[in-house]
Amino acid sequence: MSGKSTLLKALGICVYLANAGFPVPAAEAAIPKYDSIFVFINLNDDLQSGYSHFMTEVINLKQVVTTAKSSRCFAVFDELFRGTNIEDAFEISETTLKGLLNYKNSMFLVSSHLHQLVTIPQITAGQIACHYLDCSLKDNNPAFTYQLKEGWTDIKIGKVLFEKEGLNEILAAE
């Protein structure tokens, strides 16, 4: 709704196009050359391999980190670790974000709904850049501006949308 996944896809496409020598849809762009490009958006279970959504995330991350040890990587992870419980997701997201700082020649875009991540020292110290797509609530309705801003938003619209669809009343009546 806010455009986060669409933005991540667009950034991945621009990096891919630039690295393949094609023009990118931008008035101006300075895109580094990468040896490997990974984009992980809308992951599913891998039934053929017998992997859950979460295990697929872990294997993908391992592939990126292993590759980044010896080459310049660009990787996009949309809602990394959403395939596990919140406590585990927070702990391993913190470990992952701190660990990715070791790969100075690579760039990683990681989206998350884990608001607790804003408290990790590398984020508060500015070593990890945080951005969000702007949204405000007007008369309890989300208004998306689709503008990328620095920092972290405190607006939580999940409950608002749940209530706007009347689910509190529907579920209470059953």
Convert the pLDDT of each residue in 128-139 to its tens digit: 999 999 988 888
Residue whose tokens read 């920092």:
151
Q: Read off the pLDDT of each residue in 113-117 and give the average, rounded to a whole number.
A: 90
* CATH class of the domain whose range is 4-129: alpha beta
At residue 158, the pLDDT reads 86
Alpha helices per DSSP H over the chain: 4-19, 53-68, 86-100, 121-124, 158-164, 167-173
Q: Read off the pLDDT of each residue in 51-77 and give the average, rounded to a whole number.
A: 96
Tell me the average pLDDT of the chain.
Answer: 92
Going by pLDDT thresholds of 50, 70 and 90, the confidence category of residue 126 is confident
Question: What does the alpha-carbon distance between residue 78 and residue 92 come to, in Å, rounded to a whole number?
Answer: 15
At residue 174, the pLDDT reads 61
Residues of the chain within CATH 3.40.50.300 domain(s) are: 4-129
How many Cα atoms are found within 13 Å in the side-chain-facing hemisphere of 160? 12
User: Among 12-16, 47-51, 92-96, 164-168, which is the least confidently predicted range?
Assistant: 47-51
Sequence-separated (6 or more) residues with CB below 8 Å from residue 59: 51
User: pLDDT > 90: what percent of the chain?
Assistant: 67
Are 90 and 118 in contact by the 8 Å Cβ rule? The answer is no
Q: What is the pTM of this model?
A: 0.89
Residue whose tokens read 């993908």:
60
